[in-house]
Chains A and B, each alone.
Chain A
Amino acid sequence: MSKKPYKLEARNLNAYYGGFHALKDINIAMEEKAVTAFIGPSGCGKSTFLRTLNRMNDYIDGFRVEGDILLDGRDIYNKDIRVDELRKEVGMVFQKPNPFPKTVFENVVYGLKIQGIKDKKVLAEAAESSLRKTALWEEVKDKMDKSALALSGGQQQRLCIARALAISPSVVLMDEPTSALDPISTAKIEELIYELKNDYTIVIVTHNMQQAGRVSDQTAFFYMGELVEYAKTKTMFTSPKHERTQNYITGRFG
Chain B
Amino acid sequence: MRVQERIIEGLLWLSAVITIFVTVGIIWVLLSESLTFFSEVSVLDFLTDKQWTPLFAEKHFGILPLVAGTLLTTAIAISVALPIGLTIAIYLNTYAPAGFRATIKPMLEILASIPTVVYGFFALTVVTPFLQTFIPNLAGFNSLSAGIVMGIMIIPMISSLSEDAISAVPKSLREGAYGMGATRFQTAFGVLVPAASSGILVSIILAISRAVGETMIVAIAAGQQPRLTANPLVPVETITTYIVQVSLGDVPHGSLEYRTIFAAGITLFIFTFALNNLSFWIRKKYQEKYD
Contact = CB atoms under 8 A, between A and B. Distances in A.
B186 A114 contact: yes
A84 B179 contact: no
Contacts of A54: 179
A243 B287 CA distance: 50
B191 interface: yes
Contacts of A149: 289
B181 A101 contact: no
A95 B175 CA distance: 11
B176 A98 contact: yes
Interface stretch (A30-38, A86-94, A227-235): A86-94
B177 interface: yes
Nearest to B190: A114
A94 B194 contact: no
Interface string A67-105: 000000000000000001111100110111011111000
Contacts of A101: 173, 194-195, 289-290
A49 to B, nearest CB: 16
Contacts of A236: none
A254 B183 CA distance: 37
26 contacts: A54-B179, A56-B179, A59-B178, A84-B182, A86-B181, A87-B179, A88-B181, A92-B179, A94-B172, A94-B176, A95-B172, A98-B175, A100-B173, A100-B191, A101-B194, A101-B195, A101-B290, A111-B182, A114-B180, A114-B181, A114-B182, A114-B186, A149-B289, A164-B179, A164-B180, A167-B181
Nearest to B191: A100
A110 B180 contact: yes
Contacts of A56: 175, 178-179
A104 to B, nearest CB: 15
Contacts of B186: 114
Contacts of A215: none
B188 to A, nearest CB: 12
A177 to B, nearest CB: 12
Interface string B175-218: 11111111100100011001100000000000000000000000
B126 to A, nearest CB: 39
Interface string B2-44: 0000000000000000000000000000000000000000000
Nearest to B179: A92
B261 to A, nearest CB: 47
Interface string A208-247: 0000000000000000000000000000000000000000
Contact of B181 (A61, A84, A95): A84
A186 B182 CA distance: 28
A39 to B, nearest CB: 22
Interface residues of B, dominant DSSP: helix
Interface of A: 54, 56, 59, 61, 84-88, 91-92, 94-96, 98-102, 110-111, 114-115, 149, 160, 163-164, 167
Contacts of B176: 94, 98-100, 160, 163
Contacts of A164: 179-180
Contacts of B182: 84, 110-111, 114
A98 B174 CA distance: 9
Interface of B: 97-98, 170, 172-173, 175-183, 186, 190-191, 194-195, 289-290
B172 A96 contact: yes
A114 B180 CA distance: 9
B288 to A, nearest CB: 12
A-B pairs, top 9 by smallest CB distance, nearest first, are A98-B172, A92-B179, A88-B181, A87-B181, A111-B180, A98-B176, A84-B181, A114-B186, A61-B98
Contact of A98 (B97, B173, B181, B289): B173
B60 to A, nearest CB: 51
Contacts of A160: 176
Given A84-B181, A101-B290, A163-B176, 18 more contacts: A56-B175, A56-B178, A59-B178, A86-B181, A91-B179, A98-B172, A100-B195, A101-B173, A101-B195, A102-B194, A110-B182, A110-B190, A111-B182, A114-B181, A114-B190, A149-B289, A160-B176, A164-B179
B177 A100 contact: yes
A137 to B, nearest CB: 20
A111 B195 contact: no
A167 to B, nearest CB: 7
Contacts of A114: 180-183, 186, 190
Contacts of A96: 172
Nearest to A51: B175
A59 B98 CA distance: 10
Contacts of A163: 176, 180
Contacts of A100: 173, 176-177, 191, 195
Contacts of A98: 170, 172-173, 175-176
Contacts of A94: 172, 175-176, 179
Contacts of B290: 101
B183 to A, nearest CB: 5
